[in-house]
Structure 1
Amino acid sequence: MTIEEPLKSSESLAFSHVEVNSSIKKTEGSFDWSSDQEGLFLGAYFYGYVCTNIMGGWLGNKFGFPIVFGLPVFISALLSIATPIAAYTSFPLVIACRVLMGLVQGVAVSAYQCCWSSWAPPLERSILNSIAMVGVPFGVGFVYPFAGYVSDTLDWEAVFYILGGVTIGWSVVWILIVSDSPRTNRCITAAEVAYIENSIGFTVESGAVLAAPYIAQVGVGPFAGYITDAARQRKWMSTSVAPKVNTIIALSFRNVFTIIACYCTDSTTAIVLFGIGVSLRAFTYSGHLSNFVDIAPMYAGVIFGISNTISSIPGFLGPLTAGLVITDKTSISQWQTMFWINGAFGFFGSIFFFCFGSGVERNWAKREVPEEETEINPNLKSAHSDDGC
C-alpha cells in the first residue's frame, strides 16, 4: 500500500464510531483474533517504523533521496501483497509482515525530507511541502471508499493486491525519473536550475464520512502553505513564527473541535466538527513539518528522522492505551476520556514548540560549495528546448 502516516488511534477510531447514539453491532470477521491480538496487530507497524527514521534521513543524505525513498516503497508494496497470505498462514507471520513494512517505511518517510534542501526555494518551501504532504490524506480519502467497494465486489484480499500492484508500478517510475538535485535531472532547463540554486544557495545534496476530512486536507494543506509563504514574503510573520502559528492551529485547534464533537448528541454536528478538526491537521505541513529544512536544509532528513522516531511512539502506545481506556465501545464517557488524553498531548506539543521552536538556519548546518561545483552543466537543455521530455 502507499506510504502510511502515523495516525493517532483515537482519531482513527472516532470516525468509525461517529454515530455516537447508534447501537453498535458486532460482526464476525475472517480471523478469530482476541482483543489483545487486534491491539498488537494495530501497533505492529509502528514497532518497525520507530526504529528506522534516523537511518532513513542518514541514508537519504548519503545515497540520495530518490532511491532511498523509492526502494522502500517498492518493498512495502510487496509486503502489502503478502499481507493476506501471511494472515491466513499464521498470526506471528502477519505481525512480522507489518513490522517489516514499518521498518522500510520509516526509512522512506525520513529520506523524502532530503529532497527539499536541493529542490525547494526558501520562500516556497511551505507550499511545496504542503502540496506534497497532502498526498497522504488524498490517498486515505481515496482508499477508504475504494477499499469498501472492492471488498464488497471482490474480497478484502483484493484491496491489498490491487493497491500493492499499483504502488509497485509507481515506485518503478519514481526511481527511473526522479533525480537527487535539479542539475542532475535531464528534464529541467538551465534557467530553472539557476532559479532554484540561486534561491536556496547551491547545495550538492530531503467511506464518504471517513474520506471527507482527508479530502479536505488536500485543499487546506496548500492553502496553509500559500498564506504562510505570502505572510513571510510581506514580512507579516518571520520564518520562526510562521510554523509556530500553523502548529498551534494544527494541534491545539484541531483537538478543540474533536473534543467538543465528543459531547455532541447530534451525529451530524459531531461529524462536521470531527471533519473540521481533522482537516486542520493539514496545517502541520507548513508548521513543524516544514521547520526541519528551515533550520538545517542539508540535514533535514536526519533531523526529521530523529523527531519522527520520538513522535512515532504514540503509534504503538495509542492502540494499547485505547484498549485499556475503551473497554466498552458503546460508552460515550470512555471515548471522551480517550479524546481528552489525545488532546492533552496535542496541546502540550504545540505550546512547547511555540515556546522553544526556531526557524533560523544553524551555523553548523551550512556548507560552503567549492567553486568548481557552482557552474551549471552546459549540456542541460535551454528554456526553449523541445525534446519531448
Structure 2
Amino acid sequence: MSSEGDAKTTVQNIPTDDNLIMTQEQSAKKGFCSVRYGLAFILNICNFSMYTQQLNLSIAITAMVNQTALQGQPNASMDTQDDWTATQDEVQAIAPTYDWNPEIQGIILSSLSYGSFAAPIPVGYVAGVLGAKYVVGTGLFITSVLSLFIPLSADAGVAALIALRVIQGIAQDMVLTGQNSLWVRWAPPLERSQLINTAVSGAMLGSFIVLLVGGLICQTIGWPYIFYIFGGIGCVCCLLWFPLAYNDPEHHPFISADEKRYIVCSLAQQDNSPGWSLPIKSMIKSLPLWAILVSYFCQYWTINTILSYTPTYISSVLQINVRDSGMLSSLPFIATGISMLLAAFLADFLFSRRILRLVTIRKLVTCTGILCSCAFLVALHWVRFSRSATIIFLILCIFFAGIPQAGSIVNIIDIAPRYTSFIKGLTQLCASIAGAIAPTVAGILINQDSELGWRNIFLIASAINIVGLIFYLIFGQAHEQTWAKK
C-alpha cells in the first residue's frame, strides 16, 4: 500500500516543464494511431448515430404534415408552388400525413427535451462514479430501438409520439452526458480540445448525413424509412461500442505500455478520482461554474432552434420541396464539423506553445464564434428573397456556432476534472431546458405571423446568445477550482 502511495507521489512531483516535454514527445510518437484517438473515433460514430436519430424528425416532419409551405411568400413563383404541390401529392401517396399546425409541430420537436430535465444530473453522477461504458452504451441502444417505433407511435396519435420522444430524449442524455467522464481519464491536457471535438464532431456529421439523404428517403420510399434506417444503424453501433470502449486506460486490453504511461503522467497533476460526495454549496456559489451553465443555455437556445427549424425554414420560406430542402439543410452542418475541429486544433496549439493563457483561449474562441454566428443569424431575415444568399448565410452562421465547442463548451474539464461528469449533467440540463423552450417559442411565433415570426426568432436567439457571452467573459475561468480538489 505504501509503495503505491510513494509511486503516486513520485509521479505528482514531476516538474511541470518535464511533464510538458514528455507530453509533446509522446504525443508526436503516438498521434492519431493511438488508442485514445481510436476511442474518440468510436465516440464520433456513436454521436453520429445519435444525432441522426435526434434530427430525423426535423426533416421528416416536412413530409408528415399535410401542408408545411407558407402561403403568400413574396419569393414564391407559380412554378415553385406547382412543384411543391406535386411533391406533397407524391409524399402523401407513399406514407400517411397528419394535420399538425405549426404550434403542434413546435411542441413535437421540443418533446425530445421534455424528459431531460431530471435525467442529466443523476446520469452524470452515476457515470462519473461507476464509469461511462455501460451508461453510454445503454442509452444508445434504447434511443436506437425507440427510433424504429416512431412511425407506429405517430399513427397512434400526437400524445403517443410525444411520450416516445420524451423517453428517447432521456436515453440520448445518457449518451451525451456519460461520455464526458471518459475524457477525464483519457484526455491529456494538451490534447483535450482535439479529442473531445473529434468525438463531438460526429454529431455534425450525423446532422449533415440525415439532412442530406433524409429528404430523398422521404420522397422516394416514404418518411417512415428515415426512422427505420437510422435506428438500425444505431443498433449496429452498439455492437461496436461495448467490446471496444473502456472507462480508463488502465483496464484497456490493447493499449501499449508507453501510451498508458503517457496518459497517466500527463494527468498526474489533476485530481480526477471520482467520489460519492459533492460540494453542492460551493458549486452553487461558484461564478465560473455559473458562467459555463449560462453560456450553455444561451448557446443551445440558438443551436436547438437551428437544428429543429432549418429544414422547415428552407422548405417554407424559400418554397423548396422536401428532397431539396433536406439536401440544402445539410450543408451548414458539415461546415460546423470542420469549424469544431479547426478551433480545437488551434486552441491546443496556442496552449501547448504557451502563446496565450488557457482562460484567454477559451474566451477568445467563444467570443469569436458567438458574435460572428449571431451576425449572420440576424441578417437571414433581410436576405430571404435570395435563395443563394440565404443558404450561404445559414452555412456561415452554423459554421461559427461550432467554434465555441473549443471554448466555453469544453471548459468544464478545466475547472473541475473530478466532477466533470456531474457538471456535464448540469450543462445538459441547461441545454435541455433551452431545447424544450426554444422550438416551442419558435412554433408559436411562426403560427402568429409566418413572415415576421422568423425575424423575431432570429433576433431573440441572437440577443440571448450575446447575454450569455457577456456573462461568460466576465466570470469565466480555466483553472481548477478550490472546491473541485480532493
> What TM-score does the superposition give when structure 1 sets the normalisation length?
0.86
The 3 A distance-change label for structure 1 pair 21 and 364 is: same
Matches within 5 A, 1:257-336: 257-264=376-383, 265-327=385-447, 330-331=450-451, 333-336=452-455
Once the 2 structures are TM-superposed, how far is the Cα of residue 349 of structure 1 from its aligned partner? 0.8
Q: Which SS does the other structure have where 1:194 is aligned?
A: helix
Correspondence for 2:76? 22
Once the 2 structures are TM-superposed, how far is the Cα of residue 210 of structure 1 from its aligned partner? 0.9
C-alpha contact 2:50 2:234 (8 A) present in aligned 1? no
Output the CA distance in 1 between the equivalents of 2:51 and 2:196. Answer: 17
CA-atom RMSD in angstroms: 2.5
Correspondence for 2:375? 256
Query: Within the alignment, does 1:94 sit opposite 2:161 as a pair?
Result: yes
Once the 2 structures are TM-superposed, how far is the Cα of residue 235 of structure 1 from its aligned partner? 2.1
Correspondence for 2:118? 51
Q: Which SS does the other structure have where 1:288 is aligned?
A: coil
Once the 2 structures are TM-superposed, how far is the Cα of residue 91 of structure 1 from its aligned partner? 2.3
Residues 66-97 of structure 1 show CA distances to partners (whole Å, capped at 9, x for unaligned) of 11111111000011011111111232211110
Out of 338, 344, 347, the residue aligned to residue 219 of structure 1 is 338
Correspondence for 2:327? 208
Matches within 5 A, 1:211-250: 211-250=330-369
For residue 437 of structure 2, what is the amino acid of its counterpart? L
Matches within 5 A, 1:369-380: none
Whichever structure has more helix as a proportion of its residues is 2
Output the CA distance in 1 between the equivalents of 2:137 and 2:216. Answer: 28
* Identical amino acids, percent of aligned pairs: 27
C-alpha contact 1:50 1:106 (8 A) present in aligned 2? no
Once the 2 structures are TM-superposed, how far is the Cα of residue 41 of structure 1 from its aligned partner? 1.0
Output the CA distance in 2 between the equivalents of 1:138 and 1:293. Answer: 24
C-alpha contact 1:20 1:267 (8 A) present in aligned 2? no
The 3 A distance-change label for structure 1 pair 34 and 148 is: closer
Out of 237, 246, 264, the residue aligned to residue 179 of structure 1 is 246
C-alpha contact 1:293 1:300 (8 A) present in aligned 2? yes
Q: Which SS does the other structure have where 1:60 is aligned?
A: helix
Output the CA distance in 2 between the equivalents of 1:281 and 1:366. Answer: 32
Out of 97, 104, 109, the residue aligned to residue 42 of structure 1 is 109
Q: Which SS does the other structure have where 2:179 is aligned?
A: helix
Q: Which SS does the other structure have where 2:409 is aligned?
A: helix
Q: Which SS does the other structure have where 1:192 is aligned?
A: helix
Query: Within the alignment, does 1:67 sit opposite 2:134 as a pair?
Result: yes
Output the CA distance in 2 between the equivalents of 1:326 and 1:197. Answer: 53
Output the CA distance in 2 between the equivalents of 1:64 and 1:125. Answer: 19
For residue 373 of structure 2, what is the amino acid of its counterpart? R
Output the CA distance in 2 between the equivalents of 1:82 and 1:38. Answer: 19
Correspondence for 2:264? 197
Out of 224, 228, 233, the residue aligned to residue 166 of structure 1 is 233
For residue 222 of structure 1, what is the amino acid of its counterpart? L
For residue 316 of structure 1, what is the amino acid of its counterpart? A
Kindly tell me the number of residue pairs found equivalent between the two proteins.
359
C-alpha contact 2:49 2:237 (8 A) present in aligned 1? no
Once the 2 structures are TM-superposed, how far is the Cα of residue 324 of structure 1 from its aligned partner? 2.6
Output the CA distance in 1 between the equivalents of 2:419 and 2:328. Answer: 39
Output the CA distance in 1 between the equivalents of 2:74 and 2:355. Answer: 43
Residues 171-221 of structure 1 show CA distances to partners (whole Å, capped at 9, x for unaligned) of 23202210000111111101000011111127556x332111111122211
Gaps of 5+ in 1: 368-389
Output the CA distance in 2 between the equivalents of 1:356 and 1:21. Answer: 45
C-alpha contact 2:373 2:400 (8 A) present in aligned 1? yes
For residue 405 of structure 2, what is the amino acid of its counterpart? Y
Once the 2 structures are TM-superposed, how far is the Cα of residue 297 of structure 1 from its aligned partner? 1.2
The 3 A distance-change label for structure 1 pair 215 and 90 is: same
Once the 2 structures are TM-superposed, how far is the Cα of residue 152 of structure 1 from its aligned partner? 2.6
Matches within 5 A, 1:89-128: 89-128=156-195
Query: Within the alignment, does 1:80 sit opposite 2:147 as a pair?
Result: yes
Q: Which SS does the other structure have where 1:3 is aligned?
A: helix
For residue 423 of structure 2, what is the amino acid of its counterpart? I
Q: Which runs of 4+ in 1 moved over 4 A?
A: 16-20, 23-29, 202-205
Out of 136, 142, 157, the residue aligned to residue 203 of structure 2 is 136
For residue 263 of structure 2, what is the amino acid of its counterpart? I
Correspondence for 1:379? none
Output the CA distance in 2 between the equivalents of 1:59 and 1:21. Answer: 52
For residue 178 of structure 2, what is the amino acid of its counterpart? A
Residues 112-140 of structure 1 show CA distances to partners (whole Å, capped at 9, x for unaligned) of 11111100001111111111111111101
Once the 2 structures are TM-superposed, how far is the Cα of residue 17 of structure 1 from its aligned partner? 9.1
The 3 A distance-change label for structure 1 pair 180 and 307 is: same
